[in-house]
């Protein structure tokens, strides 16, 4: 099965990873942090970083022909487990009713200012 690299200027990018990959009907979105690429700023609160990280994932999904409504699995990595409640607050705002499956774990490396990284899997029609 051929894979298609997904790129967009609307989400953080790096030469070290693809923002997203589409293989058949599956789209994998790399871990996105809460940086706003239009301003280059990283919000301080876990709620704002969570919202922005999800918006960044949504931008990659859109570039690959999908939306948050197509997401089947989300993995959230938290730098500080005490941010769990604040992350949940913002996460619930972004996904609302019938959210996708989810896992939450601790983010391994310490990255200055980064409180959350979120990656997703979506499924779309071929």
Q: What are phi and psi of 81, to 5 degrees?
A: -55, -25
What pTM was computed for the model?
0.95
Q: Which of 29, 10, 12, 34 is nearest to 87 (CA)?
A: 34
pLDDT at 1: 78
Q: What is the pLDDT of residue 4?
A: 96
Backbone phi and psi for residue 47, each to the nearest 5 degrees, phi listed first:
-60, -50
Express each pLDDT in 65-102 by its tens digit. 999 999 999 999 999 999 999 999 999 999 988 999 99
- Domains with residue ranges and CATH for the chain: 3-123 (3.30.1330.40)
Task: Please give the pLDDT value at position 96.
Answer: 86
Average pLDDT over residues 27-38: 97
- Residue 125 is predicted with a pLDDT of 84
């Amino acid at each position: 099965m051929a894979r298609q690299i997904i790129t967009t200027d609307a989400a953080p990018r790096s030469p070290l990873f693809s923002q997203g990959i589409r293989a058949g009907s599956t789209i994998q979105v790399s871990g996105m942090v809460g940086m706003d690429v239009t301003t280059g700023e990283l919000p301080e609160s876990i709620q704002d970083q969570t919202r922005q990280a999800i918006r960044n994932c949504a931008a990659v999904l859109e570039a690959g022909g999908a939306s948050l409504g197509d997401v089947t699995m989300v993995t959230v990595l938290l730098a500080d487990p005490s941010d769990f409640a604040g992350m949940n607050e913002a996460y619930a705002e972004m996904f609302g009713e019938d959210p996708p499956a989810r896992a939450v774990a601790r983010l391994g490396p310490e990255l200055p200012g980064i409180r959350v990284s979120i990656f997703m899997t979506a499924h779309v029609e071929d």
